[in-house]
């Protein structure tokens, strides 16, 4: 379920938004070392993630599989696999992950991270440490990091190795930190710190559109109103959403309202007629169409959401 993906990164404050219907379940695996945390995420549907990284940790996100274009709006870049996003404590997250996206995320306590940088990577640019960066990692560093991650995941998923795993956590922590920081330093050597202006401009327009739709999602929104807000043609707005999120503006609006219904149902008291009243509140008047669209996006009927409240 989309809300379960809020825990995809240790102690981050993430808001997941499912852009399209899922084809299979997503998967999360967490490996806790003595001080560090390594999260593996395998996401089935296309997603939007907004929010903030952990306040007391530096965060390094290595994209292990991304066959279609992913987008880090906070860094104004597009990427495939082999990319690393580096975030300072509390760094902003605003990212689109396409279908089948996978990553491995290391969260490192501030004191441990800064000590490791001072000891082994003192030349890491100060602006990167302060603002974060999105970069492509060199092939050699990628291969080393991927092999380490493959071995860690294999051990973490094998119950037979669970006892042995606990005895090697200290060394594993050291190896993970070294591998991620080495990859980060490698990528920074060749990074272009100036974002592509056209990419940045289009992503800024999309952010403006998303903010407008969020503020007005409880009432019917005409595409013409959004076009006027963005000072763009209908065709331009349609291409903006299709190119950057893979959906039409109308599909995005509908799915955003479905997310609003889902959140309301998860928080509501289970009373007769609660699904109908909530659907009406979010602008869905045809309950049969609403139920089908809801089930298609989330894989369950709205009544099931009410019954499985936490």
Cβ atoms of 310 and 303 closer than 8 Å: no
Last residue of a domain, one of 169, 189, 209: 189
Identify whether residues 156 and 253 lie together within a single domain. no
Strand order of the β-sheet with 70-72 is 13-18, 47-52, 92-97, 70-72, 77-79
> CA 257, CA 63: separation in Å to the nearest integer?
30
Domain count, the chain: 2
Identify whether residues 184 and 51 lie together within a single domain. yes
What is the pLDDT at residue 219? Answer: 77
What is the pLDDT at residue 193? Answer: 56
Last residue of a domain, one of 156, 189, 222: 189
What is the pLDDT at residue 286? Answer: 87
Identify whether residues 256 and 116 lie together within a single domain. no
Identify whether residues 43 and 184 lie together within a single domain. yes
- How far CA 140 is from CA of 21, 40, 204, 255, in Å, comes to 36, 21, 34, 41
What is the pLDDT at residue 68? Answer: 92
Cβ atoms of 60 and 40 closer than 8 Å: no
Phi, then psi, of 39 in degrees rounded to 5: -115, 130
Identify whether residues 175 and 27 lie together within a single domain. yes
What is the pLDDT at residue 205? Answer: 93
What is the pLDDT at residue 167? Answer: 67
Identify whether residues 280 and 140 lie together within a single domain. no
Identify whether residues 23 and 156 lie together within a single domain. yes
All residue ranges of the chain with pLDDT < 50 are: none
Identify whether residues 129 and 8 lie together within a single domain. yes
The count of other CB atoms within 10 Å of the CB of residue 7 is 15
Identify whether residues 50 and 158 lie together within a single domain. yes
| CATH number of the domain bearing residue 11 | 2.60.120.280
The count of other CB atoms within 10 Å of the CB of residue 101 is 24
Identify whether residues 127 and 236 lie together within a single domain. no
Identify whether residues 92 and 233 lie together within a single domain. no
Model pLDDT for residues 99-138, shown as the tens digit of each residue: 999 999 999 999 999 999 999 999 898 999 999 999 999 9
Last residue of a domain, one of 155, 189, 223: 189
For residue 248, give its domain range.
Answer: 197-307
> CA 244, CA 242: separation in Å to the nearest integer?
6
Identify whether residues 181 and 277 lie together within a single domain. no
| CATH number of the domain bearing residue 263 | 1.10.10.60
What is the pLDDT at residue 166? Answer: 65
């Amino acid at each position: 379920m989309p809300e379960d993906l809020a825990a995809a990164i240790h102690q981050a404050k993430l808001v997941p938004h499912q852009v399209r219907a899922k084809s299979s379940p997503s998967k999360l695996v967490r490996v806790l070392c003595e001080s560090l945390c390594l999260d593996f995420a395998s996401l089935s549907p296309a997603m939007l993630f907004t929010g903030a990284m952990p306040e007391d940790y530096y965060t390094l996100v290595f994209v292990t599989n991304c066959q279609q274009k992913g987008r880090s709006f906070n860094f104004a870049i597009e990427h495939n696999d082999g990319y690393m996003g580096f975030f300072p404590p509390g760094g902003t997250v605003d990212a689109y992950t396409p279908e089948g996206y996978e990553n491995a995320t290391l969260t490192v306590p501030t004191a441990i991270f800064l000590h490791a940088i001072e000891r082994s990577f003192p030349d890491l640019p100060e602006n990167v440490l302060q603002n974060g960066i999105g970069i492509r990692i060199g092939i050699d560093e990628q291969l080393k990091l991927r092999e380490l991650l493959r071995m860690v995941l294999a051990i973490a998923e094998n119950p037979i190795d669970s006892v042995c795993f606990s005895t090697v956590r200290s060394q594993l922590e050291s190896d993970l930190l070294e591998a991620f920081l080495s990859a980060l330093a490698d990528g920074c050597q060749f990074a272009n710190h100036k974002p592509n202006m056209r990419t940045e401009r289009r992503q800024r327009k999309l952010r403006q559109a998303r903010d407008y739709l969020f503020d007005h999602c409880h009432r019917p929104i005409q595409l013409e109103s959004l076009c006027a807000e963005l000072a763009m043609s209908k065709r331009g707005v349609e291409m903006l959403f299709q190119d950057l999120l893979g959906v039409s503006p109308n599909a995005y609006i509908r799915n955003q309202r479905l997310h609003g219904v889902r959140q309301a149902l998860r928080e509501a008291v289970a009373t007769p007629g609660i699904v109908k009243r909530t659907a009406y509140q979010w602008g869905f008047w045809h309950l049969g169409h609403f139920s089908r669209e809801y089930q298609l996006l989330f894989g369950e009927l709205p009544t099931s959401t009410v019954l499985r409240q936490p």
